Structure 1
Amino acid sequence: MNHNQQSTDGIHEDDAALSEFLASLMDYTPTIPDELVEHYLAKSGFQCPDVRLIRLVAVATQKFVAEVATDALQQCKARQTTVVKDKRDKQQKYGVNVKHQEYFADSPSTGMDPASRDE
């Protein structure tokens, strides 16, 4: 019986924390305007007169967009670091070879015009 009382106390604490969080949303102005969230919720078929829920969706959307932007920035930085590292490695390992190839001939007349060889 003690176990059941503890689990119901946990539920009441969760409900109280959720209620407090939702109440705090009334004083918070998210980056995404309420009207925009309402528009897209209505477009998907969801109607809700509770501003707290609208703002909760706005906060969740804002967090999602921020995480995507942060991940994209980290990927971009990692790609740039890899490109710079690869360029440095290639420059150190592979340079431009300006040494001319050596050509060998069987006789001094090799490469001459056939008409001039007879002379």
Structure 2
Amino acid sequence: MNQNPQSSDGRGDDDTALSDFLASLMDYTPTIPDELVEHYLAKSGFQCPDVRLTRLVAVATQKFVAEVAGDALQHCKARQATIPKDKRDKQQKDKRLVLTMEDLSKALREYGVNLRHQEYFADSPSTGMDPATREE
């Protein structure tokens, strides 16, 4: 009978790697501050005094945001490619890419997040104002 506490399926290696990763989180400063992550964790009803877990959530959140931003960039580039050539030539002078709500909502939809404008969302400052106070 095998008396080795580590099974032959590599479980001990996985446990060691996980322990090493969690220990490395103590020295890592994520982009998203611990206080912000703790706030939203507490708001959702989760409390844990272990800062490693808070940083693990911050790293996962940072990865999610980076993936969504990358996907939104790809949607932006695809949208730019569909612009007619004459208009595209004018835009080539200004090579900045602009993140639009359309690009962001398409990227988020791929991850199961449906983003819609609120009913009060206005395209112009005068939309939604009392007709008597509008300056037209």
Q: Give TM-score, length-normalised by structure 2.
A: 0.57
How far, CA to CA, are the matches of 1:39 and 1:81 in structure 2? 41
How far, CA to CA, are the matches of 2:49 and 2:8 in structure 1? 34
Partner of 1:60: 60
User: Looking at both structures, which has the greater relative contact order when contacts are Cα pairs under 8 Å and sequence separation is at least 6?
Assistant: 1
Partner of 1:34: 34
Deviations 1:3-55 (A, max 9, x none): x9412xx1111010000001111111000000000000000000000000000
Gaps of at least 5 residues in structure 2 are: 89-136
Gaps of at least 5 residues in structure 1 are: 89-119
> How far did residue 87 of structure 1 move?
6.5
Q: Where do residues 14-93 of structure 1 align in structure 2 (5 Å cutoff)?
A: 14-84=14-84
Q: Give TM-score, length-normalised by structure 1.
A: 0.65
How far, CA to CA, are the matches of 1:41 and 1:64 in structure 2? 16
The aligned length equals 85
Instruction: Select the structure of larger CA radius of gyration.
Output: 1
SS at match of 1:42: helix
Q: Provide the aligned C-alpha RMSD in A.
A: 2.2
